[in-house]
Structure 1
Amino acid sequence: MSKNKIEIIVTGGAGFIGSHLIEKLLASNYSVTVIDNLDPFYSPDVKLKNIAAVINHPYLRFIETDILNTEELYKKLTGEYEVIVHLAAKAGVRPSLENPIIYQDVNVKGTQNMLEFARHKNIKQFVFASSSSVYGINKNFPWKESDFVLNPISPYASTKISGELLGSVYSHLFGIRFIALRFFTVFGPRQRPDLAIHLFSKKLLNGEPINFFGNGSTRRDYTYVDDTVQGIFNAIQYTWSNYEVFNLGNHQTVSLSEMIAALEEVFDKKAILNHLPEQMGDVPITFADISKAEQLLNYIPKTNFKKGIINFKNWLQTQ
């Protein structure tokens, strides 16, 4: 790695958001060390394909290891790093209901491991992937970071709150600048195959029924991946304070019914719906107030929902 470049660790860098981020970092003259355990939550081949275009980049180093394996972390991470972007986590609200213990281990203990690594290696900038799910059932729309009454309704959400609180502790005690970014339903090319837009699109193309939970009124603040990545990129350079939480959303909501209609229009196919009751752990709406991120991170989402769906379709057709 070049000593003339800022060296960044990106955990979970072979995933959906992480792979887009490392491309932007490499294009912006950073050296990047990716940590990813290629968790079989979905196919490791998909993740390797995500980073295939940059895997041989001279300023990229890929390390297949687990953030729970502290011995490996200290043995293999020998660079002079200035920033950690911690994206690695057990993902998904619904799966966390089935196995909450592993979510606690990876998302809380794993985050603390990375914070300890930052402390021991004197890494002063730590960007953490949090989630809109921390708000839970909260009727104060749009959701603001200043609302401290959080009502999480899934184990996954509780682990993300725990990560934010750990960051506050390490910021206070050890002077690590901790920036928590609450992601709001990120979508776009390389989206995880279990997430709604990807899953529904494939079923639509194959003429298979789509499981349609509830009456279609649930709403999500869909955020295009390039916008989320720009927010992360700006957070890497943020220096105004030592602890902050930011919403990275689109400040617009799309209902489940509207999302299905958009997919039907873009793919020019009629969906077959399998109507089912609402699922445990699902919140009725996510809706971000992004004024804080606009002001302090210069975060300005640029891709609207339909354009993002078109981009996703174009990518999916190449797979």
Structure 2
Amino acid sequence: MKVLITGATGFVGGVLARELTKDGKYEIRALVRKESNISTIQRLDGLEVTFGDLRDKESLKKALRGCRGLYQAAAHNALWARDSRIFYDVNVRGTQNILDAALEEGVEKVVYTSSIRALGIPQKGTLANEETEFNCWHIKDHYMKSKYVAEQLCLKMAEK
């Protein structure tokens, strides 16, 4: 089965790429940005690198062509950005772009990598889980908010 991994040069995506190439069950294609350091994945057996960007719909369709699965692990993850719109451009619009492209290209399975920061803050004495109401709109954490919104996009797409 051929799958595309986004974010393969990052921590989670890199571990995923290494694990999926171990057993030989998958043909792996990794979508990376041209400026990414691919040294951690370039020698993985059975991994094909293709260049693109979550903000470029055509590069996503090209990367997904022939893939039956998608692991969406790419995100703009930083504590701060000069322009906070980058979080929403990559994490929200980029996720929507790749979901749309996956639908157009006939991808059968999608795995979205979210974040614990997409959960709400639980009441005192309890643990957060996927049922915890997101109550963090007042916090100036654009990564947190953008991952929550992107996760909601994925959940809505899964209903289709």
Give the corresponding residue for 1:48.
Answer: 38
Alpha-carbon distance, 1:137 to partner: 4.0
Alpha-carbon distance, 1:136 to partner: 5.0
Alpha-carbon distance, 1:134 to partner: 2.0
Give the corresponding residue for 2:58.
Answer: 71
Does 1:119 pair with 2:66? Answer: no
Q: Is the 8 A contact 1:91 1:156 kept in 2?
A: yes
Tell me the amino acid that sits aligned with residue 166 of structure 1: L
Does 1:164 pair with 2:160? Answer: no
Gapped regions of structure 2 (runs ≥ 5): none
- Aligned to 2:80, what secondary structure does the other structure show? helix
Match of 2:118 among 115, 131, 134: 134
Tell me the amino acid that sits aligned with residue 34 of structure 1: A
Does 1:102 pair with 2:86? Answer: yes
Alpha-carbon distance, 1:28 to partner: 2.0
Cα 1:132–1:75 shift into 2, 3 Å: closer
When the two chains are superposed, the root-mean-square deviation of aligned CA atoms in Å is: 1.9
Q: State the Cα deviation string for residues 200-228 of structure 1 (Å, max 9, x = none).
A: xxxxxxxxxxxxxxxxxxxxxxxxxxxxx
Q: State the Cα deviation string for residues 164-214 of structure 1 (Å, max 9, x = none).
A: 1111221222xxxxxxxxxxxxxxxxxxxxxxxxxxxxxxxxxxxxxxxxx
Aligned-residue sequence identity (percent) comes to 26
Match of 1:37 among 33, 36, 54: 33
Cα 1:90–1:129 shift into 2, 3 Å: same
Does 1:20 pair with 2:10? Answer: no
For residues 1-319 of structure 1, the aligned pairs below 5 Å read 6-29=1-24, 30-37=26-33, 44=36, 47-54=37-44, 57=45, 59-79=46-66, 81-92=67-78, 94-96=79-81, 98-135=82-119, 137-140=121-124, 141-152=126-137, 153=139, 154-173=141-160
Gapped regions of structure 1 (runs ≥ 5): 1-5, 174-319
Cα 1:53–1:35 shift into 2, 3 Å: same
Q: Is the 8 A contact 1:33 1:60 kept in 2?
A: yes
Q: Is the 8 A contact 1:7 1:32 kept in 2?
A: yes
Q: Is the 8 A contact 1:134 1:150 kept in 2?
A: no
Cα distance in 2 for partners of 1:23, 1:85 equals: 13
Give the corresponding residue for 1:291.
Answer: none
TM-score (norm 1): 0.46
The count of residues paired between Structure 1 and Structure 2 equals: 156
TM-score (norm 2): 0.86
